[in-house]
Amino acid sequence: MRAKEPIKKICEYCGCEFDAYSQNARYCSHDCNRKAYREIKRKEVVFLTASMAEQTKRERAKSDLSEREYISISEAASLLGWCKQTVYNYCHKGIIPAKRLSQRTTLIRKKDIEALFDVIEPYEILTTGVRKPIDEWYTIDEVTEKYGLLRHRIRKIINAESIPTKKAGTRTLIAKNRIDAYFKKRGFDTTLSNLADWITTPEVMEIYNMTEHGVRVFVSRYAIPKKRLKGKLYYSKQHIDKLKNKES
Ligand SMILES: [Zn+2]
């Protein structure tokens, strides 16, 4: 139906004002009408394609997990609601049986995941790591002698690292494997583990021709092992020697 008086309208495609002769007119020109139609169709196709792809993906994933006997790491991850790395971790630990077919392909049998629940043991609260029973112990003096740390430093390490200790009369005993592991991890030079030679500051000054201040700076910078005996400080000669030889 064509109105006699034109109505001012805004084109829905290009946004310009135009004279409309119909209430229903939405576009200024045939050209805009055509372009707008194409645009709508294009969006419909894009939307349809996307939703179809999404649906296919969902269906495939669903049938994958319900019907297939063997699944990949990432499928196992989505089945369990984990990230892939977590699945890998359990595979590496041997908790989830997995077969590595190639660098990029690992297969898991779905029934192996289900079989994890075939045998249920009483729920166990896991401590951090499995600990071997401790059968060897150091006294604090032995640790001082071996690693050249003052007693208060050793006590700090024991507390900070929760290293097991036990009392034997008035003496404190320290779990040998744990304190050894601590120093090993921190790169303690085990070739120098028998600190046979201990020297005092005046001796260091004399042997290496250093000032007292120089010795203080040196032993602290290189964390030279030290011990206190009857109020006197001793330093590990081997450690100083090693560093001094490197310097010269
Ligand atoms: Zn237009």
> Which CATH fold topology does 68-115 show?
Arc Repressor Mutant, subunit A (1.10.10)
Distance 15 CA to ligand 1 centre (A): 6
Altogether, the residues listed in the chain come to a count of: 248
Contact of 80 with 87, CB cutoff 8 Å = yes
**Gap from CA of 29 to ligand 1 centroid (Å):** 6
User: For residue 23, how far is its CA from the centre of ligand 1 (angstroms)?
Assistant: 16
Percent pLDDT > 90 in the chain is 24
Q: Please tell me the distance between residue 159's alpha carbon and the centre of ligand 1 in angstroms.
A: 79
Q: What is the pLDDT of residues 149-186, one digit of tens each?
A: 778 888 888 888 888 888 888 888 898 888 888 888 77
How remote is the CA of residue 76 from the centroid of ligand 1, in Å?
54
Query: What average pLDDT does the segment 6-18 reach?
Result: 92
Residue 189 has pLDDT above 70, yes or no: no
Tokens 């009857």, residue?
A: 230
125, 142, 160, 161 from 183: Cα distances, Å: 29, 14, 14, 11
Rounded Cα–Cα distance for residues 221 and 133 (Å) = 37
pLDDT at 34: 95
Q: List where CATH 1.10.10 sits in the chain.
A: 68-115, 135-188, 189-248
Contact 219, 235 (CB under 8 A): yes
Grouping H, G, I as helix, E, B as strand and the rest as coil, residue 20 is: strand
Report the pLDDT value the prediction gives residue 2, as an integer from 0 to 100.
56
Return the minimum-mean-pLDDT range out of 73-87, 114-128, 173-187: 114-128
Contact 73, 84 (CB under 8 A): yes
Architecture of domain 135-188: Orthogonal Bundle (1.10)
Q: Model confidence over 18-70: pLDDT tens digits?
A: 999 888 889 999 999 999 999 999 999 999 999 999 888 877 776 667 778 89
* Residue 41: predicted pLDDT: 94
Assigned CATH topology for domain 189-248: Arc Repressor Mutant, subunit A (1.10.10)
